Chains A and B, each alone.
Chain A
Amino acid sequence: MTRPVDASANKDAAKGSRELDELIHHRLRLGMVSALAANEQLSFSELKSLLRTTDGNLSVHARKLEDASYVTVTKTFEGRRPLTTYRLAPAGRRALQRYLSHMESIIQVTRDTLER
């Protein structure tokens, strides 16, 4: 049986929500950062197939992460074909760690509330 949550818990949770990094809170950008955290580097097409998205969508969100210095982009050629590869930058890795801490703290707040 779940008990009603108290006002202070809601306040803590709301504070946690406000502190969330909106840049990687977006599902596709969170997916890109997570995938790059598990790999040294991934190409544009690998990310596209992994996250099941379109070229346009991935380009837009990759640009946002690049502008925030969360990822680094390398553009080369494989034969005659352009090859774009992404790596997670130190700022992006720290942002993911902060985001994970936020998620854990939100879960902890709920757990504490239920135990009261």
Chain B
Amino acid sequence: MSTSTLHTRALDDLRFIRRTMESASAFTGVSGWGQIAIGIIALVTAFASHTVQPGPTWLGEWLAAAALAVVIGVASSIWKGQRAREPFIFAPLRKFVLGFAPPISVGVVLTFYFARLGLFSLLPACWLLLYGAGVMTGGMFSVRSVPVMGICFMVLGCVAVLAPVSWSAALLAAGFGVLPIVFGALIAWRYGG
């Protein structure tokens, strides 16, 4: 084999190794412990706001919880990557964010639109459906548990569309509280944290 052929093959092999390791890292990209923490925050928020009618105060509480959840989600993924000495965490994380961002951006816009119109009672269904869509599309390259969690969110979103408004707190607690705790525990147990 000539030097140039070997050189091409060597470069190709190195690229293949890097690509495979990046794709394989998707299996460990989402932190299970981070999801559990996010679930607990949502349960506390649902409990604190269950007596409050959907309105500006109620929205403020859920937006504060969402902001905290974003910080915990990102920090726990980075922490997981560093703990596992995983140098390829950013490629799968980028893929997740690219899939997750469009539905979540729509959710942010609709939240402010519905809030401006005073249609707060539409928000639980909107959030569950769009967050589910984001988790599903972002998690397409991750472990199966992640897109399955997205589907569960969307099912709860459909229930929220049909259910009475009084069910909102329970559905939000089930979606943003129970689902991340259950799937987070599964991810932490099976995929190293």
Interface residues of A (CB under 8 A from B): 2, 5, 9-10, 12-14, 16-17, 27, 30-31, 34-40, 42, 46, 50-51, 96, 99-100, 102-104, 106-107, 109-110, 113
Residues of B within 8 A of A35 (CB): 20-21, 23-24
Contact of A30 among B3, B13, B22, B192 (CB under 8 A): B13
Given contacts A38-B24, A38-B88, A40-B192, contact A113 B17 (CB under 8 A): no
Bound-state CA distance A39–B92 (Å) is 13
* CB under 8 Å from chain A, chain B span 11-25: 11, 13-14, 16-17, 20-25
Which residue in chain A gives the minimum CB-CB distance to B25?
A38
If over half of A's interface residues share one DSSP class (helix, strand or loop), that class is named, otherwise mixed; here it is helix
Given contacts A34-B17, A34-B20, contact A40 B84 (CB under 8 A): yes
Cross-chain contact B192 with A31 (CB below 8 angstroms): no
Contact of A46 among B20, B21, B27 (CB under 8 A): B27
Distance (whole angstroms) from the CB of A106 to the closest CB of chain B: 4
Contact of A107 among B7, B24, B27 (CB under 8 A): B7
Residues of B within 8 A of A14 (CB): 1
Bound-state CA distance A37–B24 (Å) is 9
Interface-centre pick from B20, B22, B84 (highest chain A CB count, 10 A): B20
Which residue in chain A gives the minimum CB-CB distance to B13?
A103
The 8 closest A-B pairs by CB, nearest first: A35-B24, A110-B7, A38-B21, A106-B10, A34-B20, A103-B10, A38-B24, A13-B3
